[in-house]
A and B are shown apart, each in its own frame.
Chain A
Amino acid sequence: MIETRELTHTYQPGSPFESVAVYNVTLTIRDGEFVAFVGATGSGKTTLIQHFNGLLKPTSGWIKIDGVNPHEKDAPKGLMRSMRQSVGMVFQYPEHQLFEETVAKDVMFGPKNLGLSDAECAERAREAMERVGLPYGSFADRSPFELSGGQMRRAAVAGVLAMRPRTLILDEPTAGLDPAGRAEFLSLCAELNREGVTIALVSHTMEDVARLAQRVFVMKKGSLARTGSPRELFADADGLRALGLEPPEMSRLRAILNSRGMDIPADTLTPESMAAALARILPRGSAPKPVEEAAR
């Protein structure tokens, strides 16, 4: 569980370049949840989530990870390390952190830092690589720098998964991936969540948020502007636009259809659920009225 109370983070306090990146954020992420952080560029999402494994220290307010404040003065030695193990962090463009000669060695970097035996490290590397779709047999001994962009990303994610985190923080993990890579990656996230891993996803793609998240935190200018389920949040398209966000396509389509007298339920946020809702409403065999023009 991750809890913050009135967490504020100021960069370079006291200098002419002082800037408040996160202001007065109070939130709780419960174990096993899948939450999403959305907000315009520069709204403080990345700064906020970097508190979740103790990388940044709040300027004021506090954070507790599983009930422990990592910045407490009398924090035991090694607390930070165990915290970093239990909360994994996948940065934007994680492939930039690859450095080892082989993929397997790179994936083992985390487990090695945890002081695990070589056999255990290799085992974890195998498991993590298979998990992200890089078969150990054919990728273990290749240099990470000769992989394709998508494969490099997966190798980097495997490096985080090999720590076996109970919470996974993902900062725009699908940026720059092709549609297939994106879908694959998101289904991996959903699968991990089903296995009990708490997931916090930062994303600009409302469709992904609508599909996956149970709860959404909307950031604006460093503050938490709104919290709620995707259904609640995307129902209010105008409010969302005021926060600099565009509702997912399906909720825009729903608004258009409903304004023309249809009654599509509010939780219709994905193409699949939209298709199902339309199939229920439209009589069998009837052709739907053209909506293309209206959708435009």
Chain B
Amino acid sequence: MNGVVIGQYIPGTTRVHLLDPRTKLIMTFAYVALVFCARGLVGLSMAAAYIAGVSIQARIPIKQLLKGLKSLTILITMTALMNLFFTRTGEPALRLGSLTITDMGIRTAVYFAFRLVFLVMGTTMLTLSTSPIALTDGLESLMRPLERIRFPSHELAMMMSIALRFIPTLMEETDKIMKAQASRGADFESGTIIKRAKSLVPLLAPLFISAFRRAADLALAMESRCYQGGAGRTRLNELRYGRDDALAGLIMAVMIAATLVERFVFTAWTIKL
């Protein structure tokens, strides 16, 4: 469990890594919308181009992105099969007993599978190339307008940062206490469910105690450095949009335009859903 890193962030200094986290968040939201709007080859190839382009720029191999898909294989396969067998429109292409597969069914199944795959790959790309701390900073900044309606965006972001900061610490602590209790003959793996649940007490009790202790220490450390919440607080590293952010925005705008044009103007190429 040692050296566990939260999320899947792969540190780097590429242009993609260095983009403003707000840009990456907005890009990813736009990309998700794009994938949902895409109804034809242009839209899907836009998504594919986006994935390929970002992957090359960020020097994150596609293989790494596919890892995120593993747990979703069943869902994607099921969705594709449903579409394949239950689409009634279009010309019959294949008959299997009482089941008829239409050409439209095949197309829908393929499109849907690709959409889901692209969706997961795009969001995975965000977490692979952006550190959790940068993400919370970006979210805080994006949520700031909501402060007018008394939404505590700073406090929320601070809570997220602290939670993220302490996950590895708690993992290490868990590992250490597990080993210490195992050294005293504790067994966390075998026995009935009740026995196993009971065997967690020697692990969880010290873990909670240490979490509370850490929380108290941290609160004290923050207060002794005059932390009083978000009001009037400035930042050491201000988020600032740069040239690459503008470029990224431009690319996304073109992609969205192309997808929308395909969907609403050249409807002949698209599939009806």
Contact = CB atoms under 8 A, between A and B. Distances in A.
Nearest 8 pairs of A and B residues by beta carbon: A113-B185, A99-B205, A110-B184, A89-B183, A97-B180, A11-B2, A91-B180, A99-B202
Contacts of A26: none
B185 A160 contact: no
Contacts of A39: none
B185 A163 contact: yes
Interface of A: 11-12, 16-17, 19, 21, 50, 53, 55, 81, 84-85, 88-89, 91-92, 94, 96-99, 109-110, 113-114, 145, 159-160, 163
B2 A160 contact: no
A81 B185 CA distance: 6
Nearest to A85: B185
B5 interface: yes
B94 interface: no
A114 B176 CA distance: 21
Bin chain B's interface residue count. Answer: 20 to 34
B209 interface: yes
Contacts of B10: 16
Contacts of A91: 176, 179-180, 183
Interface of B: 2-3, 5, 10, 173, 176-177, 179-187, 201-202, 205-206, 209-210
Given A96-B176, A96-B210, A98-B206, A109 B184 contact: yes
Contacts of A12: 2-3
Given A92-B176, A97-B206, A159-B184, 9 more contacts: A55-B182, A84-B183, A91-B180, A91-B183, A97-B184, A99-B206, A99-B209, A109-B186, A163-B185
Contact of B180 (A11, A21, A89, A113): A89
Contacts of A163: 184-185
19 contacts: A16-B10, A19-B3, A55-B179, A84-B184, A89-B179, A96-B173, A96-B177, A96-B210, A97-B180, A97-B202, A99-B205, A99-B209, A109-B181, A109-B184, A110-B185, A113-B187, A114-B185, A160-B183, A163-B184
Identify the interface centre among B5, B176, B177, B184: most chain A CB within 10 Å of its CB: B184
B182 A84 contact: yes
Contact of B202 (A11, A17, A19, A109): A109
Contacts of B202: 97, 99, 109
Contacts of B205: 99
Contacts of A159: 184
A242 B170 CA distance: 35
B212 to A, nearest CB: 11
Contacts of A19: 3
Contacts of B187: 81, 113
B206 A88 contact: no
Contacts of B176: 91-92, 96
Given A88-B183, A99-B201, A110-B184, A145 B209 contact: yes
Nearest to B10: A16
A114 B186 CA distance: 9
Nearest to A53: B183
